[in-house]
């Protein structure tokens, strides 16, 4: 069982919805990955993320897709790329990442609660 946290702890994690605008290959990554540019709406703006999602997703199929991301983690340097947001996903039975997305389109920047 995971450690118990308070609701206040959960509120500190800022999870927002955004739309993928651009997908680039990331050949310098140790594991296959894409560089994503995601629009999180007018309050947050556009952010960049590295995501190891090549197992289930072709780059062309990701543009326009809404995803969830943690927008208040500090940036992380991944090789030559600065990742500004953690794009959320779950591992399937083979360990490949499946993106977390809203069931229906919602305005970019809306917060998960």
pLDDT in tens, 3-51: 999 999 999 999 999 999 999 999 999 999 999 999 999 999 999 999 9
Environment class of 83 (CB within 10 Å of its CB; exposed 0-12, middle 13-18, buried 19+):
buried
Residues 6+ positions from 81 with CB-CB distance below 8 Å = 26, 28, 29, 35, 48, 50
Kindly state the tokens that stand for 76: 């992380």
Instruction: Considering only residues 1 and 5, tell me which one the structure prediction assigns the higher pLDDT.
Output: 5
Domains of the chain: 9-99 (2.40.50.140)
Please give the helix or strand (H or E) that residue 99 lies within, else none. strand 97-99
Per-residue pLDDT at 63: 98
What is the pTM (predicted TM-score) of this model? Answer: 0.94
pLDDT band at 2 (very low <50, low <70, confident <90, very high): confident
pLDDT band at 54 (very low <50, low <70, confident <90, very high): very high
CB-CB contact of 99 with 57 (8 Å): yes
pLDDT band at 1 (very low <50, low <70, confident <90, very high): confident
Over residues 55-75, the pLDDT tens digits come to 999 999 999 999 999 999 999
């Amino acid at each position: 069982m995971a450690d118990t946290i308070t609701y206040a702890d959960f509120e500190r994690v800022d999870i927002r919805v955004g739309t993928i605008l651009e997908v680039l290959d990331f050949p310098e990554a140790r594991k296959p990955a894409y560089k994503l540019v995601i629009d999180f709406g007018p309050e947050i703006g556009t952010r960049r993320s590295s995501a190891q999602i090549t197992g289930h997703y072709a780059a062309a199929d990701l543009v326009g897709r809404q995803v969830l991301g943690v927008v208040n983690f500090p940036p992380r340097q991944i090789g030559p790329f600065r990742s500004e947001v953690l794009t959320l996903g779950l591992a399937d039975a083979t360990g490949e990442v499946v993106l977390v997305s809203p069931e229906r389109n919602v305005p970019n920047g809306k917060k998960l609660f």
